[in-house]
Amino acid sequence: MDASLPHTRGVRDSKARFCDCGLKIAGTDSHQVCSSCLGLEHAQEGIDDPDSCGHCAHLTIKSLHRRLA
C-alpha cells in the first residue's frame, strides 16, 4: 500500500494528518481535530492548565502559543 503513495520531497512530517475541515494537523499534535476546530479557548486552556487535556500536555508551550497568534 505504501508504495502507491506519492513520494513528496521535503515533507518530513509523515505523521501529519488532516482534520475533517481540511486543515492539516501536525504530527506532533495528538488532538483528533485541528487547532482551528479546537478553538482559541482550548489553546488557552492548554497553556493555563496543561493537565486539562492529555493532548495539550504533549505539546510545548511554544506550539500552544503559536495557536493563539
Residues that bind Zn ion (CB under 5 A): 19, 21, 23, 33-34, 37, 46, 53, 55-56
- Which CB, 11 or 56, lies closer to Zn ion? 56
- Which CB, 4 or 39, lies closer to Zn ion? 39
Residue 33 grid coordinates: 481535530
CA neighbor of 12 nearest in space, from 28, 35, 32, 31: 28
Listing DSSP states for 6-30 in one string gives ---TT---TT-EE-TTS-EE-TT--
Closest approach of Cβ 2 to Zn ion, in Å?
A: 26
- Which CB, 7 or 62, lies closer to Zn ion? 62
